[in-house]
Amino acid sequence: MSQSIAILGRQPALGMAELESLYGADAVQPAGRGIAALIQHKPEEINFGRLGGTIKLGELLDRLETTDWTKIDKYLRQAMPQYMQSVPAGKFKLGLSAYGLDVSVPRLGATALSLKKVIRNASNGERSVRIIPNKELELNSAQVLHNGLTGVTACELLLVRDGPTTLIARTTNIQDIDAYAARDQGRPKRDARVGMLPPKLAQTIVNLAAADTAPAGSEHIVLDPFCGTGVVLQEALLMGFGIYGTDLEPRMIDYTTRNLEWLEQTHELIHSTHKLEVGDATAHTWNPAPAIVACESYLGQPFTGAPTSQKLTEVRTTCNLILKKFLRNIHHQLPSGSRLCLAVPAWQTRPGTFARLPLVAGTPDTGLDQLEELGYNRVSFKHVEREDLVYARADQIVARELLVIIRT
Q: Give CA–CA dist 249/228, Å, rounded.
A: 8
Out of 141-150, 181-190, 313-322, least confident range: 181-190
DSSP assignment letter at 327: H
CB 229 within 8 A of CB 243: no
Q: How far is CA 178 from CA 129, 133, 355, in A?
A: 26, 21, 34
Q: Is pLDDT at 368 greater than 80 in this prediction? A: no
Query: Coil, strand, or helix at residue 275?
Result: strand
- Average pLDDT estimate for 76-94: 93
Q: Answer whether 0.75 is exceeded by the pTM.
A: yes
> What does the alpha-carbon distance between residue 165 and residue 259 come to, in Å, rounded to a whole number?
48
Does residue 192 carry a pLDDT above 80? no
The CA–CA distances, whole Å, from 229 to 140, 189, 191, 258, 399 equal 30, 7, 7, 9, 19
* Strand, coil or helix: 1: coil
pLDDT, one tens digit per residue, over 384-399 is 999 999 999 888 999 9
Q: Which long-range contacts (CB under 8 A, 24 or more apart) does 197-200 make?
A: 197/228, 197/231, 197/232, 197/296, 197/343, 198/231, 199/52, 199/231, 199/234, 199/235, 200/9, 200/52, 200/53, 200/175
Residue ranges of domains in the chain, CATH in brackets = 4-175 (3.30.2130.30), 182-407 (3.40.50.150)
**8 A C-beta contact, residue 114 and residue 175:** no
Residue 297's SS3 state is coil
Residue 296 has pLDDT above 50, yes or no: yes
